[in-house]
Structure 1
């Protein structure tokens, strides 16, 4: 892919965003060298990898490859038998530990999860946990080797500690004893790796030993007393032995690491690749991008595509197609209308797709594989080369025409501009005609009316325009394919305050042909706007109808289920009554037989017969009550009903509340518990709410409360965020309503917090006569943040 197109279409800005998503330096390096591919199989494979990584990010969250350092140089040294240093071994341990975390990230939580293109890479990772654990056991940090790294190192360091203790003991006796009066300070210090004491210069002869240093003024000498010279020598020898033991430990670790060089190198390569793949997925997540479908027919179909470098809230999605009915698209319209953005969107999304990156467009958008993308975009005037804008553009065009073929995508911004309009338009038409005849996919933006006419009159060439609102003088940035754009120069100038007489003079200077053409475009634009508004209105109506249909089907389904359940319960009740009656009849027959054997008198038998007849009549009455549909006592009229009235739905034998006024056909909605059903007014009967006497209150007007007031009481009250006084006041009214509604128990949500609100609620509950018991909720039902209250029966 030529560098000019990559630069003109701002491909490298996308690459910079991609590199920021990588965790490791080597992953960032892969991102920075990513270029579009020409191999459709490689492109589809990379797109699949990006999609699978994006799926994992949505399911399991982010993954980090930050501990992956470049250890390839260390692995080379191991292969030739060298020992590694502390930092190199720690880098390998970090790589293996991060490999282990990535391996764990890849494991499916469910056994039925589908396989994807990344499974093989994850499975090939070898964390080598014993090796990384051994390195961490022996090396504590960049500057410290563990005492337990080897027995020899432990022995040497124990000896060093003993020697140090002996030196400190002897020096302490000197500092606090015989040499105390000769010292500048009563401290022990080190010079050149040996323990010394600070002696005043005038007393240097009183403290025999070796002078190692003196102060800047010369008043203090740092002397190593003769008594500890041998001990200092012993410590120095032990330090040399310690260094040998450390080197032996590093050599042993290096040898153990060298045995796994191939596995470590494979882990490194896989981790770099995974970092690269997940960086592509992270970029797709940020852009809300999707996987494009690639074809080899040079067909482009972008749905709601956005330019990735424009903020999502500002970018206006556009639909673009090229290569189906036409292979050349001419985009017209006023400046700042979005023509160049549309051009760049097609080119940049093509480059991104061929680089294995998802594109910011709707799912099922299509792209094709192009061997080259040529783009002539922007003002490329060159002072150094003494080229005008027209000359620089034409230089690009010449190079494109020499190299472009049917595997190329060519993009022109303002083709033919920068020179005489008549000649520029003629050149532009000739260039586009040549590309069209060669079957090369091309897209060009222009102001020239001649190109609009060329697109209208040439098969395989299509017009498009960027919509512009003349009333607000603002572009909408919507791309409309099949409609040539109007320049709107006169309308814009008039809106900006240019005098009408100047605009009229300008109108007279354009030819009748051009004026007629602009009028046709204006008429087309007005018709398109009307049709578009009508289409949107139809779509809105269709959406509303679909929603209403779905709601109606859902309600009908609930009604059918409720009806079936009611009938099933009625049949079950009838079956129980029949079974009970049959059993009683059997018992009676047995009794008659017994009476016959025992010669009981006729009066007793007749009494039992009458009891049986009464029981059967009762059962028959019960069955008829369950199966027959009652008639309303009084035929209701619409004016008899008000919103909120309690009614009895006869066909369902349920009580409900009127929630809508009857329509012209007498149908209205009734809320029956959780079911809201549409019924006819003839199926309703007004219910007089019973008056109940409130327990615990005097039987006065204040003690009588309508049942409907208490039936809507919730089984839970939320007191979170309230003070104790506020909570108790609200709780007092709520418990009264709940008790009147004959609720068996209620939940009080007070939260855990400091416990003050819970304590206040419990103190209040202890004083309530109609509360039988209260306790904290079980684990999983609110725990200490909820109290369950049981009422007295």
Structure 2
């Protein structure tokens, strides 16, 4: 890609924004060098590495990349025997630490979370462990670049001697400045340093009183900074210790620099890997900031953008558009008035293509697709050159001539106002000829134009389609929505009418338009009306289809769940009944035993055969278990069933309402949210009072819908989420649901805790549990009702 097209499509502004997301100067420098790739395989690799980093950010929210420095020059100087200063060594240690930290971070993601990030894993595998060198530097130098006492035993000993000498010097000088005449003879009662020696400020007239060496004087000459003779020897000793200290520090720095040189190869690799990781994560953070997605990449010249947004327009102002090119047609001709957004459409397609080929995610919906082009050409804007004495038309033609020299089937070409700046008739003819030429070479083309002659161009050319940018005549403003398949139309008459121009003038103007132009405008108006109606019908149909599919899935799920639980409930009931009967039998045996005992003890007249008969009657009272309760005889009086009657469905053990008769002895029954066909023999009449019509549980845009078996509160505020849960539980109880699921997500756990606390105290809740692996895990709470 040439630099001119990158500037024309403002790719440099994208890079300027991307730089802000780099964590180090290494990343910034790599961003500045970023250019779109032209190899299909390379673009896919660049997109995959960005996607891996985006996956890490979605899972962890960050990547530890602080403390990285460009230490290449430090390493090279150490290699040739140079001595690194403490600050440079600190940067080396910090970079080693950053590499070790990001290496452990990526490895833990793979081990603990099973994350598949082969590109990032391969990069951190190249990082060598240099912990000993890092510790050697950190044990010798602190973060501020000061060499520590612990750097060597010799340095510690020297500094201890220095501190003892300094203490003795201060004690002697303090005795002098606290003397009885000191306040009169000294300018100030302080100890200061001149030429790295401790001195006291003495007034000029009393210099003879303090014998010693004068090191400095004040600007007025009234104060002399004198080193008293009493501390000269101590200062000399301190000076010698200071020289020894510098020599030892120099030795330590030389030793550490040599160790850096020994690890030079590993350090160069480390810098290269960290530069790459910083760059990759900068791309991912940039994509996250503008809510971008990873596009699919093809090498077939196919572009499919859904809800595409220009990344340099503020989010609150940009209008998203669907743009398709390279499938049924390879050329789009956008017609319509100025300020409608035609040029922005061109720049959006061009800039998103460059971003995709540079490995950046794009501001468009999931499922968008981009092609890899060898070249992107653009003639956008008025590039009139005063120096070259070129008119608007001439400057455009200079660009177009250059484009025609290089364009081929692997090119994307963007023409803005093609043929503008000259006679309309000649300009439109030239525009058609240029489009034909570029089309014949197999390039993908998007062109904008004012010329009405090009509205008919697409109808006469296979592979070419018209488009326009929508204009709202009511508000007299463009909506910036791209309408593919509909040519732009002039709204001059409608705008003039709304602005107050008389009907007489407008009618006269219409009569001056030739018949052919009038027919084209009428055709466009008809197309626009049909499109709006078709869009509305599609939205309505789509809405009803989605609701129907959702309701069908819910019914199927409820039926499966019902049949799964039915047998379980039968078995539990039988087991409970058996336990009750067994308990009754045991109690009766106890009673009979007591009666026998009483008979023997008191001679009561209870015959043995009477006891046997009593036990037999008790045994026959035990129901035979293991049979479904579906054939129970009704004790209720039989009557002729009618629509609206409330009945008991004996096969399910559930109440229902008769809707209509569907056969000789069959009815359609409403049981909760289920509608089913049931035979009369499987129903028992309860009462004939008709139930009131159920009110819809909720309304969306005036349409009723049933409550679902799942509630999704992810992203909701805490208080709003609990209000939604409270209302949803009431709706689910009204719908007779046995069980529902509340999706709150994992996150910080605040929503889950709040939902659990609320449900534990709800009178109608029987049991709550977290979802299993196939139900959403800890991000879902499953609620069972009593």
Shift of 1:627: 6.4
State the partner residue of 2:705: none
Cα distance in structure 1, aligned partners of 2:643 and 2:235? 113
Per-residue CA deviations over 1:59-88 (Å, capped at 9, x if unaligned) read 111224342221111111111112111111
1:248 shift after superposition: 1.0
Is residue 145 from structure 1 mapped to residue 147 from structure 2 by the alignment?
yes
CA contact (8 A) 2:574 2:625 kept: no
**Shift, 1:628, TM fit:** 5.4
Higher deviation after alignment, 163-172 or 442-451: 163-172
Q: Does residue 246 in structure 1 map to residue 249 in structure 2?
A: yes
Q: Is the Cα–Cα contact under 8 Å of residues 464 and 482 in structure 1 kept in the other structure?
A: yes
Whole-angstrom distance in 1 between the partners of 2:36 and 2:297 = 13
- Per the alignment, residue 501 of structure 1 pairs with 504
- Aligned residue for 2:193, secondary structure, equals strand
Distance 2:367 2:127 in 1: 34
**Deviation digits for residues 353-396 of structure 1, max 9, x if unmatched?**
11111122233322222121111112222333222222211221
Contact 2:648/2:684 (8 A) holds in 1: no
| CA distance in 1: counterparts of 2:173 and 2:525, whole angstroms | 104
Output the CA distance in 2 between the equivalents of 1:323 and 1:422.
Answer: 29
Aligned to 1:110, what secondary structure does the other structure show? helix
| Aligned positions of 1:177-576 closer than 5 A | 177=179, 180=182, 182-573=185-576
Q: Deviations over 1:398-447 (max 9, x none)?
A: 11112212221111111112222111111111111111222222111122
Go from structure 1 to structure 2 and tell me whether the alpha carbon gap of 1:224 and 1:54 turns closer, same or farther (over 3 Å shift): same
CA–CA separation in structure 2 for the residues paired with 1:422 and 1:415: 13
Q: Does the Cα contact within 8 Å between 1:179 and 1:207 map onto a contact in 2? A: no
SS in 2 for 1:314: coil
Instruction: Write out per-residue CA displacement over residues 300-353 of structure 1, whole angstroms, 9 at most, x where no aligned residue.
Output: 222232222223343333222222222221112333322222211211111111
- Pairwise CA RMSD: 3.6
1:104 aligns with 2:107: no
Aligned partners of 1:233, 1:94: CA distance in 2, in Å? 39
SS of the counterpart of 2:45? Answer: helix
> Matches of 2:507 and 2:74 in 1, distance apart?
81
Identify if the C-alpha distance between structure 1 residues 497 and 166 changes in structure 2 by more than 3 Å, giving closer, same or farther.
Answer: same
Pairing partner for 2:127 from 122, 125, 140: 125
What is the match of residue 160 of structure 2?
158
Distance 1:393 1:529 in 2: 36
SS at match of 2:457: helix
Aligned counterpart, 1:169: 171
Task: Give, in angstroms, the shift of residue 583 of structure 1.
Answer: 9.9
Secondary structure at the aligned position of 1:37 is classed as coil
Moved more, 505-514 or 472-481: 472-481
Does structure 1 residue 61 correspond to structure 2 residue 72?
no
Q: How far apart are the structure 2 equivalents of 1:499 and 1:377?
A: 38
CA distance in 2 between partners of 1:72 and 1:453 (Å) = 62
1-structure distance, mates of 2:619, 2:643: 42
Between 1:499-508 and 1:30-39, the stretch displaced more is 499-508
Aligned to 2:405, what secondary structure does the other structure show? helix
In structure 1, C-alpha distance between the alignment counterparts of 2:135 and 2:658, rounded to whole Å: 79
- In structure 1, the partner of 2:33 is 33
CA contact (8 A) 2:468 2:487 kept: yes
Instruction: Please tell me whether residue 615 in structure 1 is matched to residue 637 in structure 2.
Output: no
Alignment check: 8 A CA contact 2:52 2:117 kept = no
Q: CA deviation at 1:664?
A: 6.6
Q: Evaluate the alpha carbon distance shift between residue 338 and residue 202 of structure 1 in structure 2; reply closer, same or farther with a 3 A threshold.
A: closer
1:162 deviates by 1.8
How much has 1:546 moved relative to structure 2? 1.4
What's the CA shift for 1:48?
0.8
Relative distance call for 1:640 and 1:632 in structure 2 (3 A) is: farther
- TM-score w.r.t. structure 1 length? 0.77
TM-superposition CA deviations, 1:270-311 (whole Å, max 9, x none): 000111111111111122222222222222222232222223
Shift of 1:619: 1.0
CA distance in 2, matches of 1:559, 1:40: 53
Deviation at 1:184, TM superposition (A): 3.7
| Unaligned 5+ runs, structure 1 | 591-600, 642-646, 671-675, 688-719, 722-793
2:79 counterpart residue number: 79
**What SS does the aligned partner of 1:252 have?**
helix
Residue correspondences, number: 667
Relative to structure 1, is the Cα distance of residues 183 and 416 closer, same or farther in structure 2, using a 3 angstrom cutoff? closer
TM-score by length of 2: 0.78
Alpha-carbon distance in 2 for matches of 1:492, 1:59: 53
C-alpha spacing 1:565/1:624, structure 2 compared with 1 (3 Å): closer
